[in-house]
Amino acid sequence: MKEYDEVVIGSGVAGMSVAYGLKKAGKNVLIIEENLWGGTCPNRGCDPKKILLNSVEARKRIEQLLGKGFSEVPTVDWQELQAFKRSFTDPVSKNRQKELAAADIDYLAGTARFINENTIIVGEEKISAEHFILATGQRPSILPIDGNEFLQTSTDFLSLSELPQDIIFIGAGYIAFELAMIAHASGSNVTIVHHNQRPLKEFDEQLVKQLVKQMEAAGIRFVFDFESQRIIQEGTHYSLQSNDQELQADAIFCATGRQPNVERLDLEKAKVETTKHGVVVNDYLQTSNPMIFACGDIISRTEPKLTPVATFEGNYVANYVLGNTKEKISYPSIPTIVFTSPKLAQVGVTKKQLTGQEEVVEIDMTNWFTYHRVNEPLAKSQMIYDKAGYLIGASVLSEQADDLINDLNLLISQHTKKEELEQWIMGYPTVASDLSYLLK
């Protein structure tokens, strides 16, 4: 049996953050991965998705300037775009292994299973450790409907060699919205179906409605109150059916959520409690077995499942295990962004969380020079202040919302008021130079 100080299961950003933090402190560390080294984000998640989203952003900028210097919108060459994406994703797994070797961190490929409370087995090899850290992430869920063998996932979409002409996305969360934008910008006819009338339910309803309206104007079709019941293959096409409707497509992608990768770990043998949402942890990211921790997308917490959050949690676990902190984990304000066109972003307190003591200020920025100079059709923001006048929450709908939301997050985190902000000089014209006009 091999023995280590610390064993990390999963090589995504959460697992890597833990492993490097523990190794830097002199611990003997092993990290285990059963699939692609580096995890979801760089291989089949946010990184390749953002590369493909370049097509959306580039086409949109030119589309907005038709008749203002440009006469036509370029078409997207899907094969070239995918080749560009692969130039980033193909080296990831091998590079991560090289980086681990250079850091003198042991690494092992295979599926880890617990055989008791302090021992795992990988293949035929038994391994014990002072602590185990679970960081195996999540995977796309598949709807339990008839014909679901015909459903594809976000992983499949990001690897498409050919783009289908007619595509349906089931679900109305950020993954469906973003992939729909990519497919539409690249030439597909796209339909988003959802079982109720409330897409992107974590975001402000009015801003979401305006986003949907913009996407519909671009040519993306939305079908709400559609309860998917079955899929039938009809030659090379597919029919998605509810009780009273039927939609046709060349490919159907399921984007109805993700589920934690816990089944193959045999966590019951380690006395680790789980729910359908993931591994149960306390405020120290410790499981019901005190020698086992968990971080990243696998854990059952309400914080957004985002790459920076997983990194934050991984760093916290390393520091807690090392005794560098005994404080409960405390999350800062977390920006969330839907990379559509326009983009939708929010941070801090939302309108759903209002207690009646706050003030909400809605601002139309469409005619501000920052947006007017690139002919953006719509730019809106929503600022939320506490009773002392401090900014505590913000939502933004614009093509530049991803940049602006980070600036607003800094103002929230630093408790910056307008009079302080006016003492700063920002580069102009940028979203940062507009900040003083956004604060009341």
Res 427: pLDDT? 94
Per-chain mean pLDDT for the chain: 96
For residue 312, what are the contacts with CB-CB under 8 A and spacing of at least 6?
331, 332
- pLDDT value for 59: 92
User: What domains, with CATH codes, occur in the chain?
Assistant: 2-139+259-322 (3.50.50.60), 148-256 (3.50.50.60), 342-438 (3.30.390.30)
175 is in an annotated binding site: yes
Indicate the angle between helix axes 174-185 and 205-218, nearest 10 degrees: 20
Separation CA 360–CA 373 (nearest Å): 28
According to the model, what pLDDT value does residue 55 have? 85
What does the pLDDT look like over 27-65, one tens digit per residue? Answer: 999 999 999 999 999 999 999 999 999 888 999 999 999
Rg (CA), the chain: 23
Q: What is the mean pLDDT of residues 185-211?
A: 97
User: Would you tell me how many other CB atoms lie within 10 Å of the CB of residue 88?
Assistant: 14
Kindly state the average pLDDT of the residues 273-283. 97
- Tens of pLDDT along 336-378? 999 999 999 999 999 999 999 999 999 999 999 999 999 999 9
Q: How far apart are CA 406 and CA 422, in angstroms?
A: 18
Does the annotation flag 50 for ligand binding? yes
Is 218 annotated in a binding site? The answer is no
Flag whether 107 is marked binding: no
| Residue 176 annotated as lining a ligand binding site | yes
pLDDT of residue 122: 98
Collapsing DSSP to helix, strand or coil, 433 comes out as helix
Contact predicate 404/431, CB 8 Å: yes
The predicted model gives 289-318 an average pLDDT of 97
The response to whether 174 counts as a known ligand-binding position is: yes
- Residues 308-327 have pLDDT tens digits of 999 999 999 999 999 999 99
Residue 257 assigned as binding residue: yes
371 is in an annotated binding site: no
* Span 111-157, pLDDT tens digits: 999 999 999 999 999 999 999 999 999 999 999 999 999 999 999 99
The CB-side HSE value for 320 (13 A sphere, CA atoms) comes to 26
Residues 391-419: what's their mean pLDDT? 97
CA pair distance 258, 306, nearest whole angstrom: 12
Is position 19 annotated in a ligand binding site? no
Q: Tell me if 440 is assigned to a ligand binding site.
A: no
Residue type, 187: G
| Residue 420 assigned ligand-binding role | no
